Structure 1
Amino acid sequence: MKRESMEFDVVIVGAGPSGLATAIRLAQQAEQSGSELSICIVEKGSEVGAHILSGGVMESAALSELIPDWQEKGAPLNQPVTEDATYLLRSESASIKLPDLITPKTMHNKGNYIVSLGNLCRWLAEQAEGMGIEIFPGFAAADVFYNDDGSVGGIITGDMGVAADGSEKDSYMPGMLLKAKYTVFAEGCRGHLGKTLIEKFTLDKNATAQHYAIGFKEIWQVDPAVHQPGLVVHTAGWPLTEASGGSYLYHAENNQIYVGLIVDLNYDNPYLSPFDEFQRMKHHPLFAQYLNGGERVAYGARAITKGGFNSLPQMAFPGGCLVGCNAGTLNFSKIKGIHTAIKSGKMAAEVIFNQINQATNTDFCTEFNQAYQQSDLRNELFKGRNFGPALHKFGNLLGGAFNTLEQNIFNGNLFVTLKDTDADFKKLKSAAQCQPINYEKPDNKLSFDKLSSVYLANTSHDEDQPCHLQLKDPEIPVKVNLPSYAEPAQRYCPAGVYEIVEGDDKQPQFQINAANCVHCKTCDIKDPAQNIRWVVPEGASGPNYPNM
Structure 2
Amino acid sequence: MSDHLPDREAPDREARETMEFDVVIVGAGPAGLATAIRLKQIDPERTVCVVEKGGEVGAHILSGCVLEPRAMTELLPDADIGAIEYSAPAGDDRFLFLTATGSYRLPTPPQMNNHGNHVVSLGNVVRYLGTRAEELGVEIYPGFAAAEVLFEGDRVAGIATGDMGIGRDGQPTAQYQRGMELRATYTVFAEGCRGSLGKQLIRRFGLNDGVDPQTYGIGIKELWEVPPENHNPGMVMHSVGWPMDSKTYGGSFLYHLGGNLMAYGFVIGLDYENPFLSPFEEMQRFKTHPAIAPHFAGAKRISYGARALNEGGFQSIPKLVFPGGVLVGCEAGFLNVPKIKGTHTAMKSGMLAAESIAAALAGSKPATLDDFPARVRASWLWSELEAVRNIRPGFAKFGMWGGLMNAAFETYVTRGRSPWTLRNHADNTTLKPARDCTPIVYPKPDGALTFDRLSSVFISNANHEENQPAHLVLRDPATAITVNWTEYRSPETRYCPAGVYEIVGAETGNPKLQINAQNCVHCKTCDIKDPTQNIDWVVPEGAGGPAYPGGM
> Is 1:382–2:386 an aligned residue pair?
yes
Q: Deviations over 1:469-489 (max 9, x none)?
A: 000111111122111000101
Q: Which amino acid aligns with 2:76?
A: I
Is 1:248 aligned to residue 253 of structure 2?
yes
Report the 3-state secondary structure (helix = DSSP H, G, I; strand = E; otherwise coil) of the residue aligned with 1:230. coil
Correspondent of 2:98 among 86, 89, 111 = 89
8 A contact 2:81–2:118 mirrored in 1:
no
1:402-481 → structure 2 map (5 Å cutoff): 402-420=406-424, 422-481=425-484
User: Is 1:309 paired with 2:319?
Assistant: no
Contact 1:142 1:156 in 2 (8 A): yes
Residue 237 of structure 2 is matched in structure 1 by: 233
Query: Partners of 1:369 and 1:219 in 2: how far apart?
Result: 37
Equivalent position of 2:42 in the other structure: 29
- Aligned-pair distance for 1:365? 3.5
Residue 151 (structure 2) aligns with: 146
Q: Are the equivalent residues in 1 in contact too, given 2:428–2:528 (CA < 8 A)?
A: yes
Deviations 1:329-363 (A, max 9, x none): 0011101000000000000000000000029x995
Aligned with 1:286: secondary structure? coil
Amino acid at match of 1:96: Y
- Structure 1 residue runs without a partner (length 5+): none
- How many Å separate the matches in 2 of 1:505 and 1:176? 47
Q: Which amino acid aligns with 2:387?
A: K
Matches within 5 A, 1:325-340: 325-340=330-345
Aligned to 2:128: 123
Q: Residues of 2 paired with 1:40 and 1:261: CA distance?
A: 35
2:195 equivalent among 191, 195, 211: 191
Whether the 8 Å CA contact 2:65–2:119 is kept in 1: the answer is yes
CA distance in 1, matches of 2:85, 2:76: 13
Matched to 2:407, the amino acid is N
Per the alignment, residue 370 of structure 1 pairs with: 374
Q: 1:308, 1:385 → 2: CA distance?
A: 6
Determine if contact 1:524/1:532 at 8 Å carries over to the other structure: yes
1:407 shift after superposition: 1.7
Cα distance in 2 between the residues matched to 1:490 and 1:505: 18
Distance in 1 (CA, whole Å) between partners of 2:453 and 2:219 is 15
2: CA distance, partners of 1:75 / 1:416: 42
Partners in 1 of 2:486 and 2:403 — Cα distance? Answer: 34
Question: How far 1:418 moved relative to its partner?
Answer: 1.3
Candidates 11, 30, 33, aligned match of 1:17: 30
Instruction: Tell me the residue number matched to 1:351.
Output: 356
Q: 1:3 aligns with which of 9, 16, 19?
A: 16
Post-superposition Cα deviations, 1:90-124, rounded to whole Å, max 9, x if no partner, equal 21x21110024xxx310111111100000010110
CA-to-aligned-CA distance 1:488-508 (integer Å, 9 cap, x gap)? 010000000000011898611
Distance 1:144 1:492 in 2: 30
Aligned equivalents of 2:499 and 2:316: distance in 1? 30
Give the match's secondary structure for 1:300: strand
Instruction: Note the C-alpha offset of 1:75.
Output: 4.1
State the AA in 2 paired with 1:107.
Answer: M
Pick from 138, 154, 175 the counterpart of residue 179 of structure 2.
Answer: 175
What CA distance in whole angstroms lies between the structure 1 residues aligned with 2:141 and 2:494? 35
**Deviation of 1:401 (Å):** 2.0
Q: Deviations over 1:119-149 (max 9, x none)?
A: 010110000111111000000000100112x
Which position in structure 2 is the counterpart of 1:274? 279
Query: Aligned residue for 1:521?
Result: 524
| C-alpha deviation, 1:229, in angstroms | 1.4
The answer (yes or no) to whether the contact 2:86–2:258 under 8 Å persists in 1 is: no
**Cα distance in structure 2, aligned partners of 1:396 and 1:111:** 29
Q: Distance between the aligned counterparts of 1:232 and 1:505, measured in 2?
A: 49
Q: Distance in 1 between matches of 2:433 and 2:409?
A: 36
% identical equivalent positions: 52
Q: What is the TM-score with the length of structure 2 in the denominator? A: 0.95
Partner of 1:39: 48
Unaligned runs of 5+ in 2: 1-13
How far 1:201 moved relative to its partner?
Answer: 0.7
Q: How far does residue 44 in structure 1 lie from its aligned partner after superposition?
A: 0.3
CA distance in 2, matches of 1:353, 1:75: 29
1:72 Cα shift?
Answer: 8.7
Match of 1:161 among 140, 158, 165: 165
Structure 2: distance between partners of 1:99 and 1:190: 33
Q: CA deviation at 1:180?
A: 0.4
What secondary structure sits across from 1:114 in the alignment?
Answer: strand
* Residue in 2 that maps onto 1:283: 288
Q: 2:515 aligns with which of 502, 505, 512?
A: 512
Instruction: State the alpha-carbon separation in 1 of the partners of residues 261 and 543 from structure 2.
Output: 28
SS for the counterpart of 2:288 is coil
1:505-542 residue CA offsets vs partner (Å, 9 max, x unmatched): 86111100000000000000000011100000000000
Q: How far apart in 1 are the matches of 2:321 and 2:520?
A: 31
Alpha-carbon distance, 1:364 to partner: 3.1
1:129-140 alignment to 2 at 5 Å? 129-140=134-145
Count of matched residue positions in the alignment of Structure 1 and Structure 2: 537
Equivalent-residue separation in structure 1 for 2:40 and 2:294 (angstroms): 48
Question: In the alignment, is the contact (CA less than 8 A) between 1:351 and 1:364 conserved in 2?
Answer: no
Residues 417-436 of structure 1: CA deviation (Å, up to 9, x unaligned): 2112x210000000001000
Change (3 A) 1:506 1:407: closer
CA displacement at 1:286 relative to structure 2:
2.4
